[in-house]
Amino acid sequence: MQVDFYHLTAAPLDRVLPQIAEKVLASGARLLVVADDAAQRAALDRLFWTYAPESFLPHGQAGGDGDADQPVLIAAAPEPANGARTVAIVDGRWRNEALAFDRAFHLFDDEAIREARLAWKTLSDREGVERRYWKQTDTGRWEQAA
């Protein structure tokens, strides 16, 4: 299983997450987006409708009748009611339940860097876990740093 740590320094979550979601969907996979805060989940719901004038990401918030049908599901916990094998943890708080997925994106900003470093270190000795650390350049491009 692969864990990609994305340190948000030059571009905010609302610019980075839709790009990741689009790539996951383009590969034919489904995505579970996890955030504890209900207000953040509601903001992500609005974001997926409005992030680009020419498109939207098909999605829903967990707890509805159609959860299993959603290509992107926004939830409070890493429980893939939509059958996703890819999870994006977007509130900066790592959850070991993400290790049950094939791939996890852990997105965090400077406020959550201490916890991200701890998660990175903790996962270093987990068998079967491949970690990647991505940082943003001054121009906003991503480069793999570890």
Higher model confidence: residue 102 or residue 12?
102
pTM score: 0.93
Please write down the HEC assignment for all residues of the chain. CEEEEEECCCCCHHHHHHHHHHHHHHCCCCEEEECCCHHHHHHHHHHHHHCECCECCCEEECCCCCHHHCCEEEECCCCCCCCCCEEEECCCCCCHHHHHCCEEEEEECHHHHHHHHHHHHHHCCCCCCEEEEEEECCCCCEEECC
Q: What is the tens place of the pLDDT at every residue in 90-108?
A: 999 999 999 999 999 999 9
The architecture that CATH gives domain 2-144 is 3-Layer(aba) Sandwich (3.40)
